[in-house]
Amino acid sequence: MTIKHHLTENLLMGYAAGTLPEAFNLIVASHVSMCDDCRAALESYEALGGAVLEERGVAMAETGLADCLARLDDVPTPAPVARKAPVSDGTLPAPLRDYVGGDVDAIRWRHVGGGVKQAILSTSDSASARLLFIPAGAAVPDHGHRGMELTMVLQGAFADETDRFARGDVEIADEDLEHMPVADIGEDCICLAVTDAPLRFRSLIPRLLQPLLKI
């Protein structure tokens, strides 16, 4: 498997520093478990962060322990572990299987129209994560973005105005991109998509369904 489209340095550093929303942590962990290049980069950022903390160690205040214990209830959900997926015939990488509770056959799909299906994953409110099933040759409605959208291909491939994305690739879309992803004809496409703001659809029907579908 050759991965052409990778995560940015900012996303990898944010994951290493623990500053990303849970949904973004999930897609980073999933990609890193499949991508040797990004896993190596992440390990270097984690090592660098550890060295900086060790070098800049400071004395704890007298109330430090009490303050820490008082904040335990506010600790965010730990980031999914970015590890290399075990050898298997499965479609979903290990961090994502932990969320789904199994592989593709465990996904609870919901039809959203045009043969496209989705399954919303349970993550923190700061960003959303969903699995998308796009039938071979079908398209996702033309849309723009009010924030950032990361889309990772898990099966098949899709193409849009920017390029073609196959298994393991991640497309990074921001407010400047409007596109209409179309799945390759040869195979149904399954993706993991995370967003930190609602999409911006051009067509009326997707806009009307948007609150119901939570996209």
- pTM for this one? 0.79
Count other C-beta atoms under 10 Å from residue 183's C-beta.
27
Q: How many domains does the chain have?
A: 2
Sole residue written with tokens 């099933």? 133
The H or E element containing residue 99 is helix 94-100
Indicate which CATH number applies to the domain containing 63: 1.10.10.1320
Q: How many whole angstroms separate alpha carbon 177 and alpha carbon 138?
A: 20
The H or E element containing residue 182 is strand 182-183
Sole residue written with tokens 């999409």? 199
pLDDT at residue 63, as a whole number: 60
Is 68 among the domain residues? yes
The answer to whether 111 and 117 are in contact (CB under 8 A) is yes
pLDDT at residue 113, as a whole number: 81
Indicate which CATH number applies to the domain containing 163: 2.60.120.10
Is 82 among the domain residues? no
Residue 114 has, within 13 A of its CA and on its CB side, a CA count of: 15
Is 209 among the domain residues? yes
Answer yes or no: do 121 and 170 share one domain. Answer: yes
Which structural domain range is residue 28 located in?
A: 9-74
Answer yes or no: do 106 and 187 share one domain. Answer: yes
Q: How many whole angstroms separate alpha carbon 28 and alpha carbon 8?
A: 10
In a structure prediction context, what are the per-residue pLDDT tens digits for the chain, which is 215 residues long?
Answer: 789 999 999 999 999 999 999 999 999 999 999 999 999 999 999 887 654 444 555 555 556 555 544 554 554 555 665 555 444 458 999 999 999 999 999 999 999 888 999 999 999 988 999 999 999 999 988 777 789 999 999 999 999 999 999 999 999 998 888 888 999 999 999 999 999 887 666 665 565 555 565 66
Q: What is the 8-class DSSP label of residue 187?
A: S
pLDDT at residue 52, as a whole number: 47
Which of 149, 178, 184, 138 has its CA nearest to residue 165? 184
DSSP string, 59-82: PPPTTHHHHHHHTGGGPPPPPPP-
pLDDT at residue 53, as a whole number: 44
Answer yes or no: do 38 and 129 share one domain. Answer: no
The answer to whether 97 and 103 are in contact (CB under 8 A) is yes
Q: What is the 8-class DSSP label of residue 93?
A: -
Is 59 among the domain residues? yes
pLDDT at residue 87, as a whole number: 42
Q: How many whole angstroms separate alpha carbon 169 and alpha carbon 58?
A: 41
Q: Coil, helix or strand for 175?
A: coil
- Last residue in a domain, options 43, 74, 105: 74
DSSP string, 1-44: ----S---HHHHHHHHHT-S-HHHHHHHHHHHTT-HHHHHHHHH
Answer yes or no: do 103 and 205 share one domain. Answer: yes
Is 79 among the domain residues? no
Residue 10, beta-bridge partner list:
none
pLDDT at residue 211, as a whole number: 59
